[in-house]
Amino acid sequence: MADPARLAAVRVLLAVLPAGGDGQSLRDALPPALTGLKDSERGLAQDLAYGVCRHYRRLHHWLNSHLDKPLKSSARSVELAMLCGIHELWFSQRPAHAVVNAWPGVMRDLKAPWASGLANALLRQAADADVEAVLAAQKPAVRYSLPGWLWARLREAWPEQCHAVAAALLDPPPFTVRLSPEAPADGPQQWQQAGIEARQGDLAPSAWTLSPARAAAAVPGFSEGWVSIQDEAAQLPVGALLEKPLPRAARVLDACAAPGGKTGQLLERQPDMRLLALDASTQRLQRVADNLSRLGRQAALKTGDATQPQAWFDGEPFDAVLLDAPCSATGIIRRQPDVRWHRQADDIPALCGLQADMLDALWPLIAPGGVLVYATCSILPEENSEQIAAFLARHADARDDTPALADAAGGPGCQLLPGTGDYDGFYFCRLQKIGDNDPVQP
């Protein structure tokens, strides 16, 4: 095999973006394809697979406008290999002649020798293209490499910010970690000594953006349990939940816990809480167990459906509930660029229905005076502020108690948009259950 890295990238993309159908997620498809590759080959394969998912619509548009006729669906691997080549020319630092010379050989490895000459000719043209001018001439959905429905929704929801948001969704994500309150005082110096630059977050003091990015296990503190990988915005919901102190040994529910990022954060912040970590997926709950064991923390873990508490609730009310609900993941598209193509417009009403069912099912389990923090990594108002506005209209004993945040766009709750700061798109809302001694709102 002449070029295992480029070939692996094409095979991953074939699994993630098959011709005319649902594909696997990048997260599932990539790891098995990387086994057996050298470190440098893994880097190239990963860069191409992520990059083509990210820029797919831009690359595809350029390719089709330079072919006499579109490639047949049976030639999908050839098409994806062409997109990888164009991506490498436009968005990597590798020399153009090396890229142009590499891909004809990959076509032969793909058992498509007929495409070698075509690849050579097209990649020469792509190498000469003025990329900025090519992209600027496209309509926004192509320029921002978004499906039409999602661009239309962003434009409607965020008329002033939509261009900045769509552009930010194309950026590579920052590498942000959470520093435990029990980290050694010289934690950040340990990173510096390991050649890592670190910048503390403006919104969450526990958040540190590290560069260059590296494997989690290579960050001092990760194996020891005082560092976890977590975006800055994703660190805010637990901060909001614990903004006002909970009682000692408070009973807390993490209702959609897996893989356990926020479960660990809750226990780091208040180790004496009695935490129940619930998730519908037993398999994903294992990742919560693994995370907690790395952090040296304990919680009760339970497989269960958050919309059906009668199957798992023991009757003792919770002081606090964290509902980090399943959502469109539109705020984290730069981390999971395949979400652009896998998420469909008609998934959104179904997700909104599930989120509303979860909110309504969990609210009665909270003690008067208790709190529920609702969070999503979505930037669509129907999953966020509109969802919570409808919840507040249905529940007279709920009030919005979200801490104010300067960066937030639109309430109730706090919506963070990609591009405003160095964090993902995220939403959270702190809902207070009116206590027996609180005045009921008219």
Ligand X SMILES: C[S@@+](CC[C@H](N)C(=O)[O-])C[C@H]1O[C@@H](n2cnc3c(N)ncnc32)[C@H](O)[C@@H]1O
284 binds ligand X (CB under 6 A): yes
Q: Least distance to ligand X from the beta carbon of 398, Å?
A: 20
As given in the structure block, the two tokens for residue 168 are 């930010």
Collapsed DSSP state (helix, strand, coil) of residue 62: helix
Collapsed DSSP state (helix, strand, coil) of residue 305: coil
260 binds ligand X (CB under 6 A): yes
**Strands 398-400 and 251-254, sheet pairing:** unpaired
- In the bound state with ligand X, the residue whose beta carbon lies nearer, of 83 and 278, is 278
**Does residue 391 contact residue 361 with C-beta atoms inside 8 Å?**
no
Q: Least distance to ligand X from the beta carbon of 196, Å?
A: 23
Site for ligand X in 307-326 (CB under 6 A): 307, 324, 326
Using CB under 6 A, which of 172, 259, 296, 317 touches ligand X? 259
User: Backbone dihedral region of 36: left (phi > 0), alpha (psi from -120 to 50 degrees) or beta?
Assistant: left
What DSSP string describes 117-169?
A: HHHHHHHHHHHHS-HHHHHHTS-HHHHTT--HHHHHHHHHH-TTTHHHHHHHT
- In the bound state with ligand X, the residue whose beta carbon lies nearer, of 85 and 418, is 418
- In the bound state with ligand X, the residue whose beta carbon lies nearer, of 77 and 307, is 307
Q: Least distance to ligand X from the beta carbon of 399, Å?
A: 24
Strands of 290-383, DSSP E: 300-303, 318-324, 366-376
Q: Least distance to ligand X from the beta carbon of 262, Å?
A: 4
Using CB under 6 A, which of 3, 224, 305, 397 touches ligand X? 305
Q: Could you give the CA distance from residue 427 to residue 375 in angstroms, rounded to a whole number?
A: 5
**Is the peptide bond preceding residue 70 cis, with omega within 30 degrees of 0?**
no
Collapsed DSSP state (helix, strand, coil) of residue 245: coil
Using CB under 6 A, which of 59, 177, 257, 429 touches ligand X? 257
Give residues with Cβ within 8 angstroms of 266, minimum separation 6: 238, 241, 242, 252, 254, 273, 275, 322
Using CB under 6 A, which of 256, 339, 348, 373 touches ligand X? 256
268 binds ligand X (CB under 6 A): no
Q: Could you give the CA distance from residue 279 to residue 60 in angstroms, rounded to a whole number?
A: 38
390 binds ligand X (CB under 6 A): no
Per-residue contact flags (x/-) with ligand X for residues 154 to 193, judged by CB under 6 A = ----------------------------------------
- In the bound state with ligand X, the residue whose beta carbon lies nearer, of 14 and 257, is 257
Using CB under 6 A, which of 306, 365, 379, 388 touches ligand X? 306
Using CB under 6 A, which of 258, 276, 339, 380 touches ligand X? 258
The residue with tokens 């793909």 is: 110
The residue with tokens 């997109």 is: 83
Segment near ligand X (CB under 6 A), from 83-91, 279-287, 381-389, 418-426? 279-287
- In the bound state with ligand X, the residue whose beta carbon lies nearer, of 4 and 237, is 237
Which residues belong to the active site?
A: 377
Count of beta carbons in the 10 Å neighbourhood of residue 346? 7
Q: Least distance to ligand X from the beta carbon of 389, Å?
A: 21
Which positions lie near ligand X, rule CB under 6 A? 256-262, 278-281, 284, 305-307, 324, 326
